[in-house]
Amino acid sequence: MALLAGARFDRWYWAGLQVGVTLGAVFATWLWSQALFEIYILCLYCMIVWAAMIPLVILTTVRNMVHGVIPAPAVFTRGLAT
């Protein structure tokens, strides 16, 4: 909501968000492996979270690359920004 209201966050915020989202994706992957290979049962809510983590990680990473939070070649970021 803050972004929709026009707030601008510093680089440290986006770097922290990237770390948090990446660690969240790693944790969700571990939970997925436990559900699938250890307890042999899938939960609807868990699958929704797993599905939501994929675009969350991708969109956060692309945004951070385009805005220079994550260093990337200019040719690569131009392609991502379109």
Domain range for 53: 15-68
Assigned domain for 59 exists: yes
Vertex 22, ends 19 and 32: CA angle to 5°?
150
pLDDT of residue 25: 96
Q: Please state, in angstroms and rounded to a whole number, the distance separating the CA atoms of residues 32 and 13.
A: 28
Classify residue 50: in a domain, yes or no. yes
Give the predicted TM-score (pTM) of the model. 0.84
Residue 31 forms part of a structural domain: yes
Q: Which residues contact 15 (CB under 8 A, 6 or more apart)?
A: 64, 69
Residue 5 inside a domain? The answer is no
Count CB-CB contacts under 10 A for residue 31.
14
User: Is residue 42 a part of any domain in this protein?
Assistant: yes
Tens-place pLDDT, residues 15-51: 999 999 999 999 999 999 999 999 999 889 989 999 9
6 in any annotated domain: no
